[in-house]
């Protein structure tokens, strides 16, 4: 069976899915792989263009009629949330726009969760791809924005200022891990095929975990940053036991998030 798979180029995704993409032994599937940033993947799934994909957790209520949430292959955890950064100082500026990495991203929802909970005034919001958000902060074209993925590890080096760890705020206010991303599969594939896909993802992850080196040439080539130490830190932060099995705590965090989305 030939299926269309969508994942990002971030090291946690390429780490989990590399063996699957390269071809697992005796696999019933052939994969047509589409690499894209998470907002683009969200949009592709909303248009029904992918069979299996890693997407933002908060987009799921908008696609649940057509897609099943898988029990593995996502990104849920502690201490791994997006960061609200400033390019000019340590104070949040309500009168200045905040740049978010896509309207459907969990990062956007976590910012809005923080904004509402802390009683901030009405805020102008702009959207850009995640790497553009970071570039605009570094160039001071943007005063403040929310960063995700590898850029969580480089902001100090690049002279930016931390205004709020949005993941830590989520943990403190909900008591649950941070539900960043999930893997989904088209429901029309059928329950048995979806179980097989989950099995393939777990096999791929277990192969990665048995490797001596976290970062392979495949991961390095696709990453948006060229520092192997950052890639390793990224994998260690975002790949964990929730990646293999969402479990009760993971489902609780997703349920809380989806309640917020539905409003």
Distance CA 165, CA 256 (A): 19
Residue labelled with tokens 């992918």: 50
Enumerate residues 6+ apart whose C-beta is below 8 A from 205. Answer: 16, 72, 73, 239, 243, 244
Q: Is 149 a catalytic residue?
A: yes
Residue with tokens 């095929």: 193
What count of other Cβ atoms lies within 10 Å of the Cβ of residue 168?
A: 16
Task: Looking at the chain, list the stretches that DSSP marks H as alpha helix, in order from N- to C-terminal side.
Answer: 11-22, 38-46, 106-117, 130-138, 166-174, 191-210, 217-222, 228-238, 241-244, 247-262
Burial of 116: CB neighbours in 10 Å, binned 0-12, 13-18, 19+: exposed
**Set 115, 149, 151, 234: catalytic member:** 149
The residues, ordered by sequence, that sit 6+ positions from 191 with a Cβ below 8 Å of its Cβ are none
For the annotated catalytic residues, the residue numbers are 149
């Amino acid at each position: 069976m030939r299926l269309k798979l969508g994942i990002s180029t971030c090291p946690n995704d390429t780490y989990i899915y590399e063996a699957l993409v390269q071809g697992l032994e005796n696999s019933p599937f052939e994969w047509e792989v589409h690499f894209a940033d998470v907002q683009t993947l969200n949009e592709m799934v909303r248009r029904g263009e992918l069979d299996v994909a890693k997407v933002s957790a908060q987009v799921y209520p908008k696609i649940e009629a057509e897609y099943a949430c898988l029990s593995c292959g996502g990104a849920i955890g502690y201490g791994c949330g997006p960061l609200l950064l400033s390019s000019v100082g340590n104070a949040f500026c309500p009168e200045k726009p905040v740049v978010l990495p896509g309207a459907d991203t969990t990062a956007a929802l976590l910012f809005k969760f923080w904004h509402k909970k802390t009683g901030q005034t009405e805020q102008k919001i702009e959207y850009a791809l995640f790497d553009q958000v970071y570039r605009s902060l570094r160039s001071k074209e943007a005063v403040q924005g929310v960063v995700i993925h590898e850029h969580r590890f480089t902001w100090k080096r690049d002279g930016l200022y931390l205004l709020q760890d949005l993941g830590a705020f989520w943990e403190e206010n909900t008591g649950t891990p941070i539900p960043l991303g999930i893997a989904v599969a088209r429901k029309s594939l059928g329950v048995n095929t979806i179980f097989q896909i989950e099995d393939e993802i777990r096999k791929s992850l277990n192969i990665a975990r048995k490797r001596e080196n976290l970062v392979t040439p495949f991961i390095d080539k696709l990453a948006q940053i060229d520092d192997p130490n950052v890639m390793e830190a990224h994998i260690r932060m975002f790949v964990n036991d929730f990646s293999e099995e969402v479990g009760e705590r993971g489902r609780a965090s997703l349920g809380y998030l989806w309640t917020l989305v539905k409003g």
